[in-house]
Structure 1
Amino acid sequence: MNQLADRFVAAVAAGDVATVTSIYADDATIWHNFDQIDQTPSENVKTLIGLHRALTNVRYEDIRRTIVDDGFYQQHVLRGTARNAELELPAALRVYVSNGRITRLEEYLDTAQVAAAMR
Protein backbone atom coordinates (compact mmCIF):
# COMPACT_ATOMS: atom_id res chain seq x y z
CA MET A 1 0.00 0.00 0.00
CA ASN A 2 2.88 2.39 0.77
CA GLN A 3 4.31 1.79 -2.70
CA LEU A 4 1.00 2.69 -4.33
CA ALA A 5 0.68 5.80 -2.16
CA ASP A 6 4.27 6.87 -2.91
CA ARG A 7 3.74 6.31 -6.64
CA PHE A 8 0.50 8.31 -6.60
CA VAL A 9 1.97 11.25 -4.66
CA ALA A 10 5.03 11.34 -6.94
CA ALA A 11 2.83 11.31 -10.05
CA VAL A 12 0.63 14.14 -8.75
CA ALA A 13 3.69 16.20 -7.79
CA ALA A 14 5.19 15.65 -11.25
CA GLY A 15 1.94 16.35 -13.09
CA ASP A 16 2.15 12.85 -14.59
CA VAL A 17 -1.41 12.54 -15.87
CA ALA A 18 -0.92 9.07 -17.38
CA THR A 19 0.29 7.55 -14.11
CA VAL A 20 -2.38 9.28 -12.02
CA THR A 21 -5.05 8.03 -14.43
CA SER A 22 -3.68 4.48 -14.31
CA ILE A 23 -3.79 4.44 -10.51
CA TYR A 24 -7.44 5.52 -10.37
CA ALA A 25 -10.06 2.83 -10.87
CA ASP A 26 -12.19 3.62 -13.92
CA ASP A 27 -15.19 4.43 -11.69
CA ALA A 28 -13.23 6.19 -8.92
CA THR A 29 -14.60 9.27 -7.22
CA ILE A 30 -12.53 12.17 -5.95
CA TRP A 31 -14.14 14.45 -3.35
CA HIS A 32 -12.94 17.73 -1.84
CA ASN A 33 -14.23 19.27 1.38
CA PHE A 34 -14.40 22.77 -0.10
CA ASP A 35 -17.02 21.97 -2.75
CA GLN A 36 -18.32 18.56 -1.62
CA ILE A 37 -18.64 17.42 -5.23
CA ASP A 38 -17.56 13.99 -6.46
CA GLN A 39 -15.24 14.22 -9.46
CA THR A 40 -14.51 11.50 -11.98
CA PRO A 41 -10.88 10.64 -12.71
CA SER A 42 -10.99 12.66 -15.95
CA GLU A 43 -12.39 15.70 -14.12
CA ASN A 44 -9.75 15.35 -11.43
CA VAL A 45 -6.96 15.19 -14.01
CA LYS A 46 -8.14 18.59 -15.30
CA THR A 47 -7.74 19.88 -11.74
CA LEU A 48 -4.21 18.44 -11.67
CA ILE A 49 -3.34 20.18 -14.93
CA GLY A 50 -4.68 23.44 -13.49
CA LEU A 51 -2.57 22.96 -10.37
CA HIS A 52 0.57 22.66 -12.46
CA ARG A 53 -0.34 25.73 -14.51
CA ALA A 54 -0.72 27.76 -11.30
CA LEU A 55 2.28 26.34 -9.39
CA THR A 56 5.87 25.47 -10.12
CA ASN A 57 8.13 23.27 -8.03
CA VAL A 58 5.15 21.27 -6.72
CA ARG A 59 6.06 18.90 -3.93
CA TYR A 60 4.49 16.98 -1.07
CA GLU A 61 6.45 17.21 2.15
CA ASP A 62 6.09 16.30 5.81
CA ILE A 63 4.10 13.22 4.80
CA ARG A 64 2.52 11.23 7.60
CA ARG A 65 0.64 8.16 6.46
CA THR A 66 -1.38 5.45 8.16
CA ILE A 67 -2.18 2.27 6.27
CA VAL A 68 -5.58 0.68 6.92
CA ASP A 69 -7.23 -2.43 5.50
CA ASP A 70 -8.97 -0.62 2.65
CA GLY A 71 -6.45 2.11 1.86
CA PHE A 72 -4.65 4.84 3.75
CA TYR A 73 -4.87 8.16 5.53
CA GLN A 74 -2.29 10.79 4.73
CA GLN A 75 -1.43 14.23 6.06
CA HIS A 76 1.07 16.37 4.19
CA VAL A 77 2.05 19.88 3.24
CA LEU A 78 1.69 20.71 -0.44
CA ARG A 79 4.36 23.22 -1.35
CA GLY A 80 5.01 25.09 -4.55
CA THR A 81 5.60 28.52 -6.02
CA ALA A 82 2.62 30.58 -7.14
CA ARG A 83 3.22 33.97 -8.77
CA ASN A 84 6.62 34.16 -7.09
CA ALA A 85 5.11 33.47 -3.66
CA GLU A 86 5.58 30.22 -1.81
CA LEU A 87 2.47 28.17 -1.12
CA GLU A 88 2.35 25.96 1.97
CA LEU A 89 -0.93 24.10 2.11
CA PRO A 90 -1.49 21.55 4.88
CA ALA A 91 -3.91 18.90 3.67
CA ALA A 92 -5.26 15.48 4.53
CA LEU A 93 -6.39 12.58 2.37
CA ARG A 94 -8.51 9.53 3.00
CA VAL A 95 -7.86 7.11 0.16
CA TYR A 96 -9.78 3.90 -0.51
CA VAL A 97 -8.05 1.20 -2.55
CA SER A 98 -9.34 -2.00 -4.12
CA ASN A 99 -7.39 -4.36 -6.38
CA GLY A 100 -4.38 -2.04 -6.33
CA ARG A 101 -6.26 1.01 -7.62
CA ILE A 102 -7.77 4.04 -5.93
CA THR A 103 -11.55 3.79 -5.84
CA ARG A 104 -12.24 6.91 -3.76
CA LEU A 105 -10.11 9.82 -2.60
CA GLU A 106 -11.34 12.40 -0.10
CA GLU A 107 -9.20 15.53 0.22
CA TYR A 108 -9.42 18.07 3.02
CA LEU A 109 -7.74 21.47 2.72
CA ASP A 110 -8.26 25.15 3.49
CA THR A 111 -8.91 27.09 0.28
CA ALA A 112 -8.23 30.41 2.03
CA GLN A 113 -4.54 29.50 2.02
CA VAL A 114 -4.68 28.85 -1.72
CA ALA A 115 -6.39 32.20 -2.35
CA ALA A 116 -3.77 34.05 -0.31
CA ALA A 117 -0.92 32.56 -2.34
CA MET A 118 -2.60 33.35 -5.66
CA ARG A 119 -2.97 37.10 -4.96
Structure 2
Amino acid sequence: MSAGVSALADRFFAAVSHGDLAELDALYSPHVTVWHNYDDVDQTRVESLRLLSWLAAKAGPLRYTDVRRTVLDDGFVQQHVVELGGRCEGIRMPAMLRVFCDDRHIRRIEEYVDPAPLNARLAASAEH
Protein backbone atom coordinates (compact mmCIF):
# COMPACT_ATOMS: atom_id res chain seq x y z
CA MET A 1 0.00 0.00 0.00
CA SER A 2 2.93 2.40 0.59
CA ALA A 3 3.49 2.93 -3.16
CA GLY A 4 -0.23 3.72 -3.57
CA VAL A 5 -0.20 6.15 -0.65
CA SER A 6 2.91 7.85 -2.02
CA ALA A 7 1.27 8.18 -5.44
CA LEU A 8 -1.86 9.63 -3.82
CA ALA A 9 0.31 12.13 -1.91
CA ASP A 10 2.06 13.15 -5.14
CA ARG A 11 -1.32 13.66 -6.85
CA PHE A 12 -2.63 15.66 -3.88
CA PHE A 13 0.30 18.08 -3.73
CA ALA A 14 0.32 18.51 -7.53
CA ALA A 15 -3.41 19.34 -7.42
CA VAL A 16 -2.95 21.84 -4.58
CA SER A 17 0.01 23.41 -6.41
CA HIS A 18 -2.07 24.10 -9.50
CA GLY A 19 -5.46 24.72 -7.91
CA ASP A 20 -6.92 21.61 -9.58
CA LEU A 21 -10.19 21.41 -7.65
CA ALA A 22 -11.54 18.53 -9.75
CA GLU A 23 -8.55 16.38 -8.81
CA LEU A 24 -8.78 17.40 -5.15
CA ASP A 25 -12.49 16.59 -5.17
CA ALA A 26 -11.67 13.13 -6.53
CA LEU A 27 -8.98 12.54 -3.89
CA TYR A 28 -11.08 13.64 -0.91
CA SER A 29 -13.35 11.10 0.72
CA PRO A 30 -16.98 12.27 0.94
CA HIS A 31 -16.61 13.16 4.64
CA VAL A 32 -13.04 14.47 4.70
CA THR A 33 -12.07 16.90 7.45
CA VAL A 34 -9.15 19.31 7.36
CA TRP A 35 -7.80 20.77 10.59
CA HIS A 36 -5.31 23.65 10.87
CA ASN A 37 -3.23 24.42 13.93
CA TYR A 38 -3.64 28.18 13.49
CA ASP A 39 -7.43 28.20 14.00
CA ASP A 40 -8.10 24.79 15.61
CA VAL A 41 -11.13 24.26 13.36
CA ASP A 42 -12.12 21.17 11.37
CA GLN A 43 -13.04 22.27 7.85
CA THR A 44 -15.54 20.35 5.79
CA ARG A 45 -14.85 19.18 2.25
CA VAL A 46 -16.59 22.26 0.79
CA GLU A 47 -14.73 24.66 3.09
CA SER A 48 -11.38 23.06 2.30
CA LEU A 49 -11.95 23.20 -1.46
CA ARG A 50 -13.02 26.85 -1.16
CA LEU A 51 -9.86 27.71 0.81
CA LEU A 52 -7.59 25.88 -1.65
CA SER A 53 -9.27 27.64 -4.58
CA TRP A 54 -8.73 31.01 -2.89
CA LEU A 55 -5.10 30.13 -2.10
CA ALA A 56 -4.40 29.16 -5.72
CA ALA A 57 -5.92 32.42 -6.95
CA LYS A 58 -4.05 34.63 -4.46
CA ALA A 59 -0.70 32.86 -4.11
CA GLY A 60 -0.42 30.20 -6.80
CA PRO A 61 1.19 28.36 -8.22
CA LEU A 62 2.59 26.83 -5.05
CA ARG A 63 5.86 24.94 -4.98
CA TYR A 64 6.81 22.34 -2.40
CA THR A 65 10.50 22.14 -1.54
CA ASP A 66 12.59 20.36 1.09
CA VAL A 67 10.03 17.55 1.08
CA ARG A 68 10.38 14.83 3.68
CA ARG A 69 7.62 12.21 3.63
CA THR A 70 7.04 9.14 5.77
CA VAL A 71 4.37 6.65 4.71
CA LEU A 72 2.47 5.09 7.61
CA ASP A 73 -0.05 2.26 7.91
CA ASP A 74 -2.95 4.73 7.81
CA GLY A 75 -1.55 7.53 5.63
CA PHE A 76 1.54 9.70 5.69
CA VAL A 77 3.36 12.59 7.33
CA GLN A 78 4.99 15.20 5.14
CA GLN A 79 7.21 18.10 6.13
CA HIS A 80 8.00 20.67 3.47
CA VAL A 81 8.45 24.33 2.68
CA VAL A 82 5.68 25.93 0.65
CA GLU A 83 7.01 28.56 -1.75
CA LEU A 84 4.26 30.89 -2.87
CA GLY A 85 3.80 32.44 -6.30
CA GLY A 86 1.80 35.29 -7.80
CA ARG A 87 1.68 38.43 -5.71
CA CYS A 88 3.05 36.38 -2.81
CA GLU A 89 6.22 35.44 -4.69
CA GLY A 90 9.18 35.03 -2.36
CA ILE A 91 7.24 33.87 0.69
CA ARG A 92 8.38 30.53 2.11
CA MET A 93 6.31 28.81 4.79
CA PRO A 94 7.54 25.67 6.56
CA ALA A 95 4.68 23.24 7.13
CA MET A 96 3.83 19.72 8.18
CA LEU A 97 0.78 17.64 7.28
CA ARG A 98 -0.44 14.46 8.89
CA VAL A 99 -2.74 12.85 6.32
CA PHE A 100 -5.02 9.91 7.07
CA CYS A 101 -5.81 8.01 3.87
CA ASP A 102 -5.74 4.77 1.96
CA ASP A 103 -4.30 4.53 -1.53
CA ARG A 104 -7.43 6.12 -3.07
CA HIS A 105 -8.94 8.74 -0.73
CA ILE A 106 -7.94 11.23 1.93
CA ARG A 107 -10.10 11.03 5.07
CA ARG A 108 -8.43 13.64 7.28
CA ILE A 109 -5.66 16.22 7.09
CA GLU A 110 -4.02 17.86 10.08
CA GLU A 111 -1.94 20.82 8.89
CA TYR A 112 0.66 22.65 10.94
CA VAL A 113 1.67 25.96 9.35
CA ASP A 114 2.05 29.62 10.28
CA PRO A 115 0.07 31.68 7.73
CA ALA A 116 1.27 35.03 9.13
CA PRO A 117 3.70 35.78 6.23
CA LEU A 118 0.94 35.14 3.66
CA ASN A 119 -1.62 37.18 5.59
CA ALA A 120 0.79 40.10 5.98
CA ARG A 121 1.60 40.16 2.25
CA LEU A 122 -2.06 40.01 1.25
CA ALA A 123 -2.96 42.77 3.70
CA ALA A 124 -0.13 44.96 2.38
CA SER A 125 -1.14 44.40 -1.25
CA ALA A 126 -4.78 45.23 -0.42
CA GLU A 127 -3.67 48.62 0.93
CA HIS A 128 -2.12 49.61 -2.41
Same fold judged by TM-score > 0.5? yes
Tell me which residue corresponds to 1:20: 24
Over the residues paired in the alignment, what is the CA RMSD in angstroms? 1.5
SS, match of residue 61 in structure 2: strand
Hey, which of these two has a bigger chunk of helix by percent?
A: 2
Which one has the largest radius of gyration? Answer: 2
SS, match of residue 19 in structure 1: helix
Tell me which residue corresponds to 2:84: 80
Tell me which residue corresponds to 2:45: 41
Report if aligned partners of 2:17, 2:60 keep a CA contact under 8 Å in 1.
no
Q: Say yes or no: does 1:57 pair with 2:61.
A: yes
Q: Say yes or no: does 1:2 pair with 2:21.
A: no
Q: Partners in 1 of 2:60 and 2:103 — Cα distance? A: 33
Q: Partners in 1 of 2:103 and 2:72 — Cα distance? A: 14
Report if aligned partners of 1:82, 1:117 keep a CA contact under 8 Å in 2.
no
Q: Partners in 1 of 2:106 and 2:36 — Cα distance? A: 15
Match of 2:109 among 97, 105, 118: 105
Segments of 5+ residues of structure 2 without an aligned counterpart are none
Deviation at 1:40, TM superposition (A): 1.1
- In structure 2, relative to structure 1, the CA distance for the partners of 1:82 and 1:116 (3 Å cut) is farther
Report if aligned partners of 2:75, 2:100 keep a CA contact under 8 Å in 1.
yes
SS, match of residue 86 in structure 1: coil
- In structure 2, relative to structure 1, the CA distance for the partners of 1:84 and 1:73 (3 Å cut) is closer
Segments of 5+ residues of structure 1 without an aligned counterpart are none
Aligned residues: 119
**Which of structure 1's runs of 4+ aligned residues deviate more than 6 A?**
none
Q: Say yes or no: does 1:31 pair with 2:24.
A: no
SS, match of residue 35 in structure 1: coil
Deviation at 1:89, TM superposition (A): 0.7
TM-score (norm 2): 0.86
Hey, which of these two has a bigger chunk of strand by percent?
A: 1
Tell me which residue corresponds to 1:117: 121
